Chain A
Amino acid sequence: MAQPGETQATDIAFPAGSARRMLASALSWFYLAAVYAFIFLPVAVLVLFSFQDGRLPVPPFNGFSLQWYESVFADRKLMAALANSLMVAVASSFVSCLLGFLAAYALARYRLPASALQRGLLIAPMTVSYLIIALGLLAVLNALQVPLSLWTVGIGHVVINLPLCFAIIYASMGDHHVNIERAARDLGASDVKVMALVTAPMLMPSIMAAFFLSITFSWDEFIIAFLLSRFDVTLPVEIWSMLRSGLNPKTNAIGSLVFLASVVVLVVLELALFGRSRKP
């Protein structure tokens, strides 16, 4: 514990120490840059070559062109897939949040049999791979003779997002809310009214966080959407089928758009919710 103080003292005494410190700080900046490059270089390349003026999304960069974005927006199938994705994302996230909230409310406020076990069971799907979940659902849907459609994709997304929504909302249901709900009940509110008028609005920041996070997960989820859909498909599945006919700056363009949409959702989430909840 005394070490930092000692180094500081030697730094003041010998200028050599400050050179060492500069080197350390240069190294840490380099490390930082490397990490971000590692994370974002693929995305940057993807976005860069979506503007490629030519038929191949590989170096060299021939010039700037918006032609691939034009062809993306002209592509009916892609646009239909985009609309499908949006619909599935919003609907499945809404259902996940609703079910997650109700489960969290019940487990946080009532004494239920084996509540620790129930909590564990609700969160467990998070640890199972999407592939396994998709295969399991496929088997069940087949057995029940339910035809594959966007509905079944939505069901799959609820299965993967419910644990997440439950975990986020449950974590925000502190004991300090108990007295507030009691006060509401004391003033004559029924259980349903307490939930709708007091608990849910109070937890709105975390409910919205859960909602937007599930939207981003559902929005670019591939395996479940691929295995559980048939004629109408979501955007990632459509992109996949485009990719099968080879690389093409158009796939870069649509990929960039998907990325942009996720970024927008995250920024909205950050500004609207976390930004506000930081204030008391």
Chain B
Amino acid sequence: MTASVSIRNLTKTFATFKALDDVWLDIAAGEFIVLLGPSGCGKTTLLSILGGFLTPTGGTVTIGDRDMAGVPPALRPTTTMFQDYALFPHMRLIDNVGFGLRMRGMDRASRDAKAAGFLDLVGLKLSARKKPHELSGGQRQRVALARALAVDPDVLLLDEPLGALDLKLRRQMQDELKALQKRVGTTFVHVTHDQEEAMAIADRIVVMNHGRVEDFGPPSDIYMRPKSIFAAGFMGEVNFLSGRVSRVECDAAEVETQIGPIVLPIANFTIARPQAGEHVTLCIRPEHFRTVDRSVAGLSEAVVSDVSFFGTHHRCHLAPVASPERKLVAHMPQSARIARCDRIALAFDPAGVTALPEVPET
């Protein structure tokens, strides 16, 4: 089964510390949502509130149109998959997976049959009689997943389920997790601080920082059109350029920057329509730089201060001639011929540039 989740005005304070600050989220049934943010930003806190392990200081959580205030974890249509898996060490896998069914009063034969089915789903049918300590990390993770799914939750809450795995296994489990989620159709809320993992599996990503939601949307939107400086920086490498809107036309605006005037489509101003004279910060991803033969009108040239070959691209550090202390990072195509101390023309695809209201530079 599956259910939608809606979070309104949610706040959680520990003594004087605001762990969650006015969080609003609407999650559709069957969505794969990833909560992404740095350590201590409140991801686990939010998940614990959804699971019923913590009571919010303010605000409401509704799951499938039912208000969850005062509902204990056992009576919620959620199950949680803990970061350390929390398998029962003294039980065989089949009893681990069947535990929730046992608590629902199902008799031994039918719960064993159902548990075996879920172990099969995660590819561990043959290990049903083993104890958790006989398994590898990845296998334990699958048992935890099977155990959580066996009680047929509407919403599955996963707290950094892949955190303990090595990189290769992690990528593999991401794919499996995503495929499984599509198959069972349950709403997944998944916590991570790895942005690659988030992009690999999420239908929509919630970027969190200091207890607030910084951005919420599909991975491509958050990467290409971030709604905050923090979200832009957290999703990958980015160059920030401060500037001032000098001219606004019907579908484009010109921004005056240290490296020259840049004309952007209005749609790239993600927060609000630009006003002439307004200060903005431009976010340019390294891969949006282009190599060109001729200088683009008005844009400064740059000196390559450093370059290294990364296989898929050349990673260059550039010092614009107009403002040499304003270092830029650019990824140039594999085929480009670039060497240290070269003087190149700066150019980038305006579609890839996002403009955000300026925050005081740190």
A182 at the interface (CB under 8 A from B): yes
Stretch of B85-93, B165-173, B179-187, B302-310 that contacts chain A:
B85-93
Confirm or deny: A186 has a beta carbon within 8 angstroms of a beta carbon on chain B: yes
- The CA-CA distance from A180 to B89 in the complex, in Å, is 9
A99 close to chain B: CB less than 8 A = no
Report the minimal beta-carbon distance from A280 to chain B, rounded to whole angstroms.
5
Please report which residues of chain A, range 180-226, place their CB below 8 angstroms from some CB of chain B when the two chains form the complex.
180, 182-190, 193, 198, 201-202, 204
Binds A, one of B74-82, B213-221, B349-357: B74-82
Task: Note all chain B residues with C-beta closer than 8 A to A180.
Answer: 86-89
Distance (whole angstroms) from the CB of B77 to the closest CB of chain A: 12
- The docked-state distance in angstroms from the alpha carbon of A279 to that of B84 is 19
A182 to B133, CA, bound (A): 19
- Asked whether B88 lies within 8 Å of A198 as measured between CB atoms, the reply is yes
Across-interface contacts of A204 in B (CB, < 8 A): 90
A183 partner, pick from B72, B82, B90, B133, beta carbons under 8 A: B82
A179 within 8 A of B: yes
User: Among residues 41 to 100 in chain B, which have CB atoms less than 8 Å away from a CB atom of chain A?
Assistant: 51, 53, 72-74, 78-80, 82-84, 86-90, 99-100
Question: Does B147 reach chain A (CB closer than 8 Å)?
Answer: yes
Q: Which residues of B contact A186 (CB under 8 A)?
A: 51, 53, 73-74, 78-80
User: A176 to B84, Cβ gap below 8 A?
Assistant: yes
B109 at the A interface (CB under 8 A): no
In A150-198, which residues have CB < 8 Å from any B CB? 176, 179-180, 182-190, 193, 198
Give A202 to B99 CA distance when docked, in angstroms. Answer: 15
* Chain B residues within an 8 Å CB radius of A198: 88
Contact across chains for B103 and A182 when beta carbons are under 8 A apart: no
Contact pick for B151, options A182, A185, A188, A190, CB 8 Å:
A188
Q: Is B104 an interface residue (CB 8 A)?
A: yes
Residue ID in chain A nearest B53 by CB atoms: A182
- List chain B residues, Cβ under 8 A from A280: 133
Nearest-neighbour CB distance to chain A for B83, whole angstroms, equals 8
Known contacts A187-B99, A187-B100; A182 and B73 CB within 8 A of each other: yes
Distance between A228 CB and nearest chain B CB, rounded to angstroms:
38
- B74 in contact with A189 (CB, 8 Å): yes
A34 to B99, CA, bound (A): 56
Question: Given A182-B73, A183-B80, A280-B133 in contact, is the A189-B103 Cβ separation under 8 Å?
Answer: yes
Chain B residues whose C-beta falls within 8 Å of the C-beta of A189 in the assembled complex: 74, 99, 103
Residue of A nearest to B100 (CB): A187
Residues from chain B with a CB closer than 8 A to the CB of A187 are 74, 79, 99-100, 103, 147, 151
Residues of A within 8 Å of B99, CB to CB, are: 184, 187, 189
Nearest chain-B residue to A183 (Cβ)?
B86
> How far, in Å, is A174 (CB) from chain B's closest CB?
12
Contact B86 A182, beta carbon cutoff 8 Å? yes
Which among A187, A193, A279 has the highest number of chain B CB atoms within 10 Å? A187
Q: How far is the CA of A183 from the CA of B103 in the complex (A)?
A: 12
Cβ–Cβ contact A188 & B104, under 8 A: yes
> Please, how many angstroms separate the alpha-carbon atoms of A182 and B86 in the complex?
8
Docked Cα-Cα span, A201 to B79, in Å, equals 23
A residues in contact with B90, CB < 8 Å: 201-202, 204
B147 to chain A, nearest CB (A): 7
Q: Which residues of B contact A185 (CB under 8 A)?
A: 72-74
Contact of B82 among A182, A188, A193 (CB under 8 A): A182
Q: Which residues of A contact B89 (CB under 8 A)?
A: 180, 202
Residue in chain A with minimal CB distance to B147: A187
Closest-CB distance, A206 to chain B (whole angstroms): 13
Assembly CA distance A179 to B89 (angstroms): 12
If A182-B82, A186-B79, A187-B100 touch, does A202 touch B88 (CB 8 Å cutoff)? Answer: yes
> For residue B157, which residue of chain A has the nearest CB?
A186
Q: Mark B191-221, 1 if CB is under 8 A from A, else 0.
A: 0000000000000000000000000000000
| Distance of B266 from chain A, by nearest CB (Å) | 48
Q: How far is the CA of A182 from the CA of B78 in the complex (A)?
A: 13
Q: List the B side residues contacting A176 at CB < 8 Å.
A: 84
- Give the contacts of A246-280 with B (CB-CB under 8 A): 279-280
Minimum CB–CB distance for A192 against chain B, Å: 12
Residue numbers in A under 8 Å from B51 (CB-CB): 186
Most chain A CB inside 10 Å of its own CB: which residue of B72, B89, B103: B103
User: What is the distance, in angstroms, from A182's C-beta to the closest C-beta of chain B?
Assistant: 6
Q: Which residues of chain B have C-beta atoms less than 8 A from A184's C-beta?
A: 88, 99
| Most chain B Cβ neighbours within 10 Å, of A176, A184, A188, A190 | A188
Complex alpha-carbon distance, A201 and B131, angstroms: 14
Report the bound CA distance from A184 to B96 in whole Å. 10
Complex-state Cα separation, A166 to B4, whole angstroms: 46
Q: A185, A186, A189, A193 — which one has the most chain B CB atoms within 10 A of its CB?
A: A186
Q: Could you list 7 further interchain pairs (A-B, Cβ under 8 angstroms) beyond the known A186-B51, A189-B103, A202-B88?
A: A183-B147, A185-B72, A185-B74, A186-B74, A187-B79, A187-B151, A188-B151
8 cross-chain pairs, A with B, having the tightest CB-CB distances, nearest first: A187-B100, A188-B103, A183-B86, A179-B86, A201-B90, A180-B86, A186-B73, A188-B74
List 9 contacting pairs A-B, 8 Å CB cutoff, sorted by A: A179-B83, A182-B80, A182-B82, A183-B147, A187-B99, A187-B103, A187-B147, A188-B104, A201-B90
Residues on B lying within 8 angstroms of A by beta carbon are: 51, 53, 72-74, 78-80, 82-84, 86-90, 99-100, 103-104, 133, 147, 151
